[in-house]
Structures are given as C-alpha cells and as structure tokens.
Chains A and B, each alone.
Chain A
Amino acid sequence: MKKTMHVGLTVLMAAFVLAGCSSVPLDTKVPVETRTPTALGSGAGGANPSGAGQSGVTSVDLTKGGANVGLGKVVYFDFDSFVLKDEYRPLVDSFAKSLTADRKKKVVVEGHTDERGGREYNLALGQKRAESVTKALALLGAADAQIEAVSFGKERPAAQGSDEAAWAKNRRAELVYR
C-alpha cells in the first residue's frame, strides 16, 4: 500500500516536472517543486537498509513521461567542420520557404558530433553546427523567433560504432518542426 502510494507520488511528481518545463517562459526564473522527503530503495544494488539518516537521497524519475523525439531532416558535416555543404542548400531552402510562408511555424536545429573527445566540448561543437544551419535559415528570411539552435553533443548518436562510417553519420544537424 505504502509502495503503491509512493510510486503514484513519483509519477505525479514526474508529471509536474515535465509540465513545469514545458510551460517555462524563456529568460525567467522557474518555481521550485518540493516534495516530502521519502527514501527510495537502493538504485545501484548496494545495501541500503531502512534508516535513511544522513545518507538518504531522494530519487526523481523522469522516465515515465515518455520521450519526445521528432524525426527530422538531416544535414551531415565533414570531420572537424561546421560548414554547411552545398548539397544541403536545397533542404535548408525548403525549410526557409516554409518558415517565411507561415510565421507561426518553428524549427529547432539539433547539432550532433561523433563520439571522440569531451562531452561538454562536443556539446559546444554541436551547437556550432546547429548555428551554422540557423544562420543560413535566417539569411533566407526565417525570423529569429522561429528558429532555435540546440546541441546534443555526442550524447545522441545516430549510429553506434567507433569507425569512420559511424562517425560520419553522427556529425550532423537535424531540423525538426516544433
């Protein structure tokens, strides 16, 4: 009974968390959600007897919310490069046309890198790739408010593997309508 309530609470909290995120206006503070401290069971398989004492950590579970992964159009980049290749101009043109035709439309450009190197530095490299696409969209008439460049760095590879074939598939930017 207690356990059911607890799971229910966790799901509810996860829902609050997700709701809180999607309704957050940019550039403002967000409210804090608080919950009753409750010790969850051990996560990593270590011994975690009942008494929480000074060692208690409360778990937050976001996995119940479901991921929102849109499938977008993809632009690939050369190694260590941020240059939008000519072969992708038609794709970017078509996105720009659609954005200028409907000012309510929005596109998020997600930059990605291959697996080599540090996570944060790759996040910045992916951001640079995404921005090279949003800059092209802006030049073609898309409004700033319609486009956002974000990065996943090396965290969301399109292809697994540690060879040039996989790396080439992962050096990319994805254009996703939101």
Chain B
Amino acid sequence: MIVIVPDSIARSTMHNIRRSAQVSTARSTGLVRTAFGSLLLVAAVFFCSKASAQFRVEISGVGATQLPIAITKFRDEERATPSLSVSAIVRADLERSGVFKGVDAPGALDENSQPVMTEWRGRAADALVAGSITRLADGRFDIRFKLWDVVKGTPLGGQSTAVEAGDLRLAAHRIADYIYEKLTGDKGVFSTRIAYVTKGGGRFTLRVADADGEGGQVALNSAEPIISPAWSPDGKQLAYVSFESQKAVVYTQDTASGARRAIANFRGSNSAPAWSPDGQTLAVTLSRDGGSQLYLIGRDGGAPRRLTSSNAIDTEPAFSPDGRTIYFVSDRGGGPQIYRISTGGGNVERVTFGGSYNISPAISPDGRTLAYISRQGNTFRLYTLDVTGSGQPQALTDTSDDESPSFAPNGKLIIYASRAQGRDVLMTTTLDGKIKARLVSTTADVREPVWGPYGR
C-alpha cells in the first residue's frame, strides 16, 4: 500500500505519516473485526528481550490510530550491552504511548545503511529506525541511530550520543523521545522518571524509576509508612510524608545526594505535599490548629500560611500549572468532593458534582483536565473532567481499585495505581482510556505513583 505524498517539506512529514497511519489502522481494524467479531477489547502481550522485563499493553476500543514503526536491532548491541537491549526499550516505549505499533524488523541495518524502502513498505511499516552501539575506550557507549520515513523513502534525522553504562536506559528513552517528537509533533515523556512506594517484607520503600517502571532505584527505606510522594518541578527533589517518627511529617529529599529535610513537622499530622509550579512553595495539609486544613509553606520550611479555614476536612492540594489555583478535596458539603481556591485565598468553588466521593485531584499540564478518583458503589475508578467548561465526568477504566492519578508532563498519559488479578499494579492510560500499559512487575505491594517533570 503506497501513499502518494504531494509535497516534501519537513513539516508535512508528520501529517503524511499520520495519514498513512490511518490507512494502516483501517487495515488492522479490519483484521480485528475478522478475528474477534464485535469484540472491542484486544489485549496484546509483548515479551521483550530478557533485559527489559515483561510488560503488557492493553488496547481497548476502536479508532486508536497507531503508526506502524519498524525498529531493527542496533548493530553490535548484543555484544556491547548484553544486559539490556536499547532497541527493545525504544520499541516498548513507543508502543506504550499508544501512538505506535511495532512492526517486526528483521535484518541487519545501522544508521549508515541505505534501506530498501519498498521492502519496508511491504512489511507495512511507515517509519524505520536503525542504529548501532559501540563500546568506547573510556568505557562509555557510543549510540547512533537514524529514522526514516518509509512512505516517502527519506531520512528524517538521527543522533549520536556517548553515555556511561548507568545511563544506557536513559539514552534509549531519549531515542524514543526523539522519534516520538519527530513523528507526532508532541514532546515525548519516555526519558522522564516516576516515583512510587512499595510495601513488602515489613518495610516501605520509596523508589525512583524510568517512566516505563524499569531501572528502579531506592530513594528511601523505612520500617514505617511512606505516602504521597511529589516531584519538585525541576525533577531533583521528592517531597513525601514519612511516619518514621510515629506521626506524619513532610520531608523533601534530593534524589541525587539523599539529603533530606523535614519541612513540615508541626503538632499533629503533616501531609499531602504539593509543589507550586515555580518550586518555591509547597501546599500541605496540617492539623496544627485543629482539623485538617491547607497551608502554604516555603520550600525550606519556615512559618506556614493558612490557606483554608473550614470546619471540615481540607486536604490533597494540587496546584494548577499557572500556580494561581489550588484544587483540593474537602468534605465541607458532606462527603469528599473536589473544590478549587485561589492561591491567594478567597472564595472556594466546587468542581466535582457527580457521585458522593471524589478524591485525589491531579491537573493536566495545560490546566484543562482534572483527573481524580471517584467512588461509585464499592468501586474506586479513575475519572477525568474538563474543568474549563461544562464537560461530563469520563470514566477511564473498568477496574475497581484505582488510586493516585498523576499526569505525564506532556499531558498525553496518566499513571495510576490499581489492582489486577489480585495484585497491586501501576498502570498508564491514554486520556481517552483506550490504551493502557501495566508497569512494574513485582510481588511487592506497589502504590502512590507520581510522574516526574521533564529533565532530571
């Protein structure tokens, strides 16, 4: 199937590839219908190479437009980096985004090859990636790759980078970011990080991992609970609540050095830290004056300024991206609902109305979409709501124990905790709920995911 491309300016590439992607989707949708009749749910399990652990992408609903991309094994990658496959990580990243579909890519190509485009069109690939990995004399790895538009038969660009062993995963995620941005026009989030908490063996562990849940490293081990991690906007610090002193205290911790500081340790409970977009202030929930109320406190601690004054519970603050508004949970109307207030104080406005129990607000980077958890009967489910108009709440899942939503910095995915087959899992979903991926395969109880910003 050949799509005729009318012009050749760079900007039109994405559009053209998207057009051909729709053609391919029409093709695969036809396949789906043949194979599954009217079934709306297609689950595909991808087993990656030994190093990038098993993950799972579930695609539900029709109309998911996926661009078919072929990513060949990078030349010498098995010899240079036997413990992980950079090309497999790139493919897994792109598939998890929901925007791409991996196409089998046999053969030996690298960034200097002249691929035979008709051959790749024959494999129904719209884009092709090839590259190489070379171990340098200083122990670092030289990674090169090139991206082609198969439909037009032209190269779209490439990069070369030298990284140390500890940054191989990062390099792979950056390649995926490059490809994602070239082909979609949106910034990729594969090289960002997530934080989450595991509980197992009588200990609580705050972990930092790549956005695919792999390469996890321990930031904090404790015998006492750790909850509510929150990334600083520069991606260098985590704020969280630790019960290590037999009460809830808010700490910040520099992830690179491990230096930590109690920024809210007042009488009563101190919890629910949220960073302001400029990183100078945190909103926290304190009970120092009785009840649970919202306060603003400097990033280095100091005297808090009270933000809400109610006789009810006010907690779970979340800053809007412009820093002017704080969304929060309050039970001032009876059950917990999401409200918003100006950072300067003043009137409180109710935001959620559907259902009797709506908690854990997260705001998209463009400020338009609220993600939250809504209880319906005995189920706790991830919802979104357009907060700019009169939109209706949208359920994104059909699971029953969803928790802790957090937006990717490009606003295209939400990470959340849930339960599947009797286990706690971390999931990502596209905002339409159609494409979900399960992260972090571990036997430990895993919870409280939070997506970090661009940069690290």
Question: What residues make up the interface of A, taking CB atoms closer than 8 Å to B?
Answer: 13, 17-18, 20-22, 24, 26-27, 29-35, 37, 39-40, 42-63, 65-69, 108, 110, 117-121, 123-125, 127-128, 131, 148-153, 155-156
CB-contact partner of B216 in A22, A46, A51, under 8 A: A46
For the complex, what is the distance from the CA of A51 to the CA of B257, rounded to whole Å?
A: 15
- B373 neighbours in A (Cβ, 8 Å): 118
Q: How far is the CB of A9 from chain B (nearest CB, A)?
A: 11
Contact assessment for A54 and B165 in the assembled complex, using a CB-CB cutoff below 8 Å? no
Output the nearest chain B residue to A38 by Cβ-Cβ distance. B258
Output the nearest chain A residue to B316 by Cβ-Cβ distance. A120
CB-contact partner of A155 in B227, B336, B442, under 8 A: B227
Contact assessment for A51 and B220 in the assembled complex, using a CB-CB cutoff below 8 Å? no
Given A120-B227, A120-B285, A127-B292; A150-B247 close (CB under 8 Å): yes
Asked if B186 is at the interface of the complex by the 8 Å CB criterion, the answer is no
CB-contact partner of A151 in B261, B269, B360, B375, under 8 A: B269
Contact assessment for B227 and A119 in the assembled complex, using a CB-CB cutoff below 8 Å? yes
Q: Residue-by-residue, is B134-175 near A (CB-CB < 8 Å gives 1, otherwise 0)?
A: 000001100000000000000000000001111111100000
Given A39-B166, A48-B217, A52-B166; A58-B257 close (CB under 8 Å): yes
5 A-B residue pairings within 8 Å (CB atoms): A31-B261, A42-B216, A43-B207, A56-B217, A120-B360
Contact assessment for B316 and A121 in the assembled complex, using a CB-CB cutoff below 8 Å? yes
- A20 neighbours in B (Cβ, 8 Å): 262
Given A30-B262, A32-B261, A53-B170; A118-B267 close (CB under 8 Å): no
Give 12 A-B pairs besides A37-B257, A44-B215, A119-B404 with Cβ atoms closer than 8 angstroms. Answer: A42-B215, A42-B216, A53-B170, A54-B170, A57-B208, A62-B222, A62-B223, A63-B222, A148-B267, A150-B246, A150-B248, A150-B269
Q: How far is the CB of B405 from chain A (nearest CB, A)?
A: 11
For the complex, what is the distance from the CA of A108 to the CA of B456, rounded to whole Å?
A: 40
Output the nearest chain A residue to B290 by Cβ-Cβ distance. A131
Contact assessment for A54 and B271 in the assembled complex, using a CB-CB cutoff below 8 Å? no
Contact assessment for B260 and A60 in the assembled complex, using a CB-CB cutoff below 8 Å? yes
B interface, size bucket: 35 or more
Q: How far is the CB of A56 from chain B (nearest CB, A)?
A: 6
- B248 neighbours in A (Cβ, 8 Å): 123, 150-152
Contact assessment for A43 and B218 in the assembled complex, using a CB-CB cutoff below 8 Å? yes
Asked if B133 is at the interface of the complex by the 8 Å CB criterion, the answer is no
Contact assessment for B218 and A40 in the assembled complex, using a CB-CB cutoff below 8 Å? yes
For the complex, what is the distance from the CA of A42 to the CA of B207, rounded to whole Å?
A: 10
Asked if B57 is at the interface of the complex by the 8 Å CB criterion, the answer is no
Q: How far is the CB of B196 from chain A (nearest CB, A)?
A: 10
For the complex, what is the distance from the CA of A59 to the CA of B203, rounded to whole Å?
A: 14
- B166 neighbours in A (Cβ, 8 Å): 39, 48-53, 55-56
For the complex, what is the distance from the CA of A82 to the CA of B203, rounded to whole Å?
A: 30
Contact assessment for A21 and B258 in the assembled complex, using a CB-CB cutoff below 8 Å? no
Given A30-B262, A59-B258, A118-B403; A150-B268 close (CB under 8 Å): yes
The 3 A-B residue pairs with the shortest CB-CB distance, nearest first, are: A44-B216, A51-B164, A43-B218
Contact assessment for A68 and B243 in the assembled complex, using a CB-CB cutoff below 8 Å? no
- B421 neighbours in A (Cβ, 8 Å): none
- B266 neighbours in A (Cβ, 8 Å): 26-27
- A125 neighbours in B (Cβ, 8 Å): 313
- B246 neighbours in A (Cβ, 8 Å): 68-69, 108, 110, 150
Contact assessment for A44 and B227 in the assembled complex, using a CB-CB cutoff below 8 Å? no
- A50 neighbours in B (Cβ, 8 Å): 164-166
Contact assessment for B262 and A120 in the assembled complex, using a CB-CB cutoff below 8 Å? no
For the complex, what is the distance from the CA of A101 to the CA of B301, rounded to whole Å?
A: 37
Given A34-B257, A53-B166, A60-B258; A120-B315 close (CB under 8 Å): yes
Contact assessment for B243 and A124 in the assembled complex, using a CB-CB cutoff below 8 Å? no
- A131 neighbours in B (Cβ, 8 Å): 287, 290-291
Given A54-B170, A58-B257; A155-B243 close (CB under 8 Å): yes
Q: How far is the CB of B86 from chain A (nearest CB, A)?
A: 12
CB-contact partner of A46 in B165, B214, B245, B300, under 8 A: B214
Asked if B244 is at the interface of the complex by the 8 Å CB criterion, the answer is yes
B residues 222-246 touching A (CB-CB < 8 Å): 222-225, 227-228, 241-246
Asked if B359 is at the interface of the complex by the 8 Å CB criterion, the answer is yes
- A67 neighbours in B (Cβ, 8 Å): 223-224
